[in-house]
């Protein structure tokens, strides 16, 4: 009898065969490369893949169980009926969400009991199987729901329930789960990005508190945050730089904390610099042991990299792109008639299908109580490349409509007659420029290749 991971893997193989037979019949020359890519990224599933009939043979039909289908329908109904209507409308029109919009959405998940997707049940987690997590991600993406702010639920929460004291668990976890407190991440510094071990922000113990001095940068949504978790240097008298780093929780309202905005290339305020000048932090806010922050931070990064793959969202965006290019524009032939463009779409779809196998293996590891392993670097590396590949496809599909810089038209009830382009084409360039960051944040893709070479391939 197949387990849940195997059933989902077989289902994906069915979908892969469908893409091969129905989308690539006009482009057989790319099939060998795509099949090889599938084997490379899904090595643990080769036995399943070998059962595929790429040319002739008995079709393989795999379905979810009745309980899994009922769960899928419940998730689908939730996103249809219980997401606040004004938030759903903003998502549909591409209007940026406010801080309170994100909080209301996440509280709706909490009220449903679905906030701690990967958390252990004893701390309020869902207890979902790998298949349920997979179905939830797919339905959430297909509903075009807001993304879950990851810094509390997906990052510091797992660090606290894994390494924190019992008092820290009682103090912080309930508010993180209910989205009562907005967290941000303090890792990168003006002189320490991918080489994070070179960080210099100091935290010197003075009695019952640390005195913190230094700066963090590229702090996403730090302008909204109530608390920040930071990697700080508590000692320099160590053999290895990583040994002198600690994991500290800091209230953003503490005197001496200053937030300065960084306006990104497309004009958005998403990231910030945060400066700490003689900030006093209670010693009880140290997570785990002093000097062990590097180990805790690596676990957090593995959770972050797993989430950053955004495979379900990429699949959704590809499906929307197919619908967009199937429509004629101002009487011209639809772009879907361009075989060269559709070849690129199909090739990207197959790469996304292949990457899903690695995501399923990682979800299975998390479900069994393990932290995501170094394979999360594969997810981050390939996932970010695919996000950017889809951005490029949208930009190509938008054509000249991608050129005007008109972010002001993405507000509620903007008159259609005044909109530039046929719909959301002008936003494709804003997204394209913003998501150049995807191959840099959470550890640049060059760093991920080093991790894969060392810890996955053993080189």
Q: Domain residues of the chain, as ranges?
A: 4-63+309-456, 66-148, 181-294
**Closest of 57, 147, 4, 52 to residue 354, by C-alpha:** 52
Kindly report the number of other CB atoms within 10 A of residue 190's CB atom: 12
Kindly report the number of other CB atoms within 10 A of residue 436's CB atom: 13
Q: How many C-alpha atoms does 310 have within 13 Å on its Cβ side?
A: 21
Torsion of CA 440, 99, 389, 24, to 10 degrees: 140
- Record the tokens describing residue 264, joined without a space: 């990104």
pLDDT of residue 15: 55
- Record the tokens describing residue 416, joined without a space: 């259609």
pLDDT of residue 326: 93
> Which CATH code for domain 66-148?
1.10.540.10
Q: How far is the C-alpha of 109 from the C-alpha of 79, rounded, in Å?
A: 10
| Active-site residue, from 139, 189, 290, 304 | 304
Q: How far is the C-alpha of 378 from the C-alpha of 359, rounded, in Å?
A: 9
Active site residue 304: yes
Could you give the residue ranges of the DSSP H alpha helices within 55-156?
66-81, 85-93, 99-112, 130-142, 150
> Which CATH code for domain 181-294?
2.40.110.10
Query: 442: burial class by Cβ within 10 Å (0-12, 13-18, 19+)?
Result: buried
Q: Are 135 and 80 in contact (CB under 8 A)?
A: no
Q: What three-state secondary structure class fits 31?
A: helix
Could you give the residue ranges of the DSSP H alpha helices within 143-280?
150, 157-163, 166-177
Paired strand residues for 282 = 209
pLDDT tens series, the chain, 459 aa: 555 445 555 555 555 555 545 544 444 444 444 443 443 343 333 333 333 323 333 333 346 889 999 999 999 999 999 999 999 999 988 888 999 999 999 999 999 999 999 899 999 999 998 889 889 999 999 999 999 999 999 999 999 999 999 999 999 999 999 999 999 999 999 988 777 788 999 999 999 999 999 999 999 999 999 999 999 999 988 878 888 999 999 999 999 999 999 999 888 899 999 999 999 999 999 999 999 998 888 776 665 555 667 889 999 999 999 999 998 877 788 999 999 999 999 999 999 988 887 777 766 666 566 666 666 788 888 889 999 999 999 999 998 888 888 877 888 778 877 878 766 777 888 889 988 888 887 778 788 888 888 877 888
DSSP secondary structure letters along 316-334:
HHHHHHHHHHTS-STTSPP
Q: How do 257-263 and 245-251 pair as beta strands?
A: unpaired
Query: What is the rounded end-to-end Cα distance, in angstroms, of the chain?
Result: 37
Q: How far is the C-alpha of 160 from the C-alpha of 254, rounded, in Å?
A: 21
Q: How far is the C-alpha of 231 from the C-alpha of 188, rounded, in Å?
A: 9
Q: How far is the C-alpha of 422 from the C-alpha of 427, rounded, in Å?
A: 11
Q: What three-state secondary structure class fits 183?
A: strand
**Closest of 402, 408, 415 to residue 324, by C-alpha:** 402
pLDDT of residue 37: 40
Q: Could you tell me the CATH superfamily of domain 4-63+309-456?
A: Butyryl-CoA Dehydrogenase, subunit A, domain 3 (1.20.140.10)
Q: Are 231 and 199 in contact (CB under 8 A)?
A: yes
Q: Are 289 and 244 in contact (CB under 8 A)?
A: no
Q: Are 198 and 192 in contact (CB under 8 A)?
A: yes
């Amino acid at each position: 009898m197949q387990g849940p991971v195997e059933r989902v893997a077989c289902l994906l193989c069915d979908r892969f065969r469908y893409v091969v037979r129905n989308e690539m019949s006009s482009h057989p020359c790319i099939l060998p490369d795509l099949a090889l890519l599938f084997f490379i990224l899904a090595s643990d599933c080769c036995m399943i893949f070998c059962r595929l009939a790429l040319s002739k043979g008995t079709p393989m039909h795999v379905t979810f169980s009745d309980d899994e289908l009922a769960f899928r329908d419940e998730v689908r109904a939730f996103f249809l009926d219980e997401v606040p209507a004004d938030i759903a409308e903003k998502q549909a029109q591409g209007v940026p969400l406010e801080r309170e919009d994100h909080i209301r959405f996440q509280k709706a998940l909490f009220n449903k009991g679905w906030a701690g997707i990967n958390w252990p049940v004893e701390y309020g987690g869902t207890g979902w199987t790998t298949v349920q997590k997979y179905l939830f991600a797919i339905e959430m993406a297909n509903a075009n729901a807001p993304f879950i702010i990851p810094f509390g639920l997906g990052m510091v929460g797992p660090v606290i329930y894994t390494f924190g004291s019992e008092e820290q668990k009682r103090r912080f976890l309930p508010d993180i789960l209910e989205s009562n407190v907005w967290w941000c991440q303090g890792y990168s510094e003006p002189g320490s990005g991918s080489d994070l071990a070179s960080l210099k922000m100091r935290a010197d113990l003075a009695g019952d508190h640390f005195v913190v001095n230094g700066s963090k940068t590229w702090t996403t949504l730090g302008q909204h945050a109530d608390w920040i978790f930071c990697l700080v240097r508590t000692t320099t008298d160590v053999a290895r730089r990583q040994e002198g780093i600690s994991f500290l929780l800091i209230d953003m309202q503490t005197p001496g904390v200053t937030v300065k905005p960084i306006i990104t290339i497309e004009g958005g305020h998403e990231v910030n610099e945060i400066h700490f000048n003689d900030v006093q932090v209670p010693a009880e806010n140290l997570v785990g042991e002093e000097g062990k922050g590097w180990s805790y931070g690596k676990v957090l990064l593995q959770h972050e990299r797993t989430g950053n793959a955004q495979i379900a969202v990429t699949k959704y965006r590809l499906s929307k792109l197919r619908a967009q290019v199937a429509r004629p524009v101002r009487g011209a032939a639809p772009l879907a008639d361009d075989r060269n463009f559709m070849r690129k779409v199909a090739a990207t779809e197959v790469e996304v299908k292949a990457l899903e196998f690695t995501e399923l293996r990682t979800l299975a590891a998390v479900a069994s109580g393990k932290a995501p392993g170094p394979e999360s670097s594969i997810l981050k590396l390939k996932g970010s490349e695919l996000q950017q590949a889809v951005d490029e496809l949208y930009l190509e599909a938008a054509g000249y409509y991608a050129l005007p810089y008109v972010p002001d038209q993405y507000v509620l009830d903007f008159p259609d007659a005044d909109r530039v382009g046929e719909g959301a084409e002008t936003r494709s360039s804003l997204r394209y420029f913003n998501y150049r960051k995807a191959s840099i944040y959470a550890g640049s893709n060059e760093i991920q290749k080093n991790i894969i070479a060392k810890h996955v391939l053993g080189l």
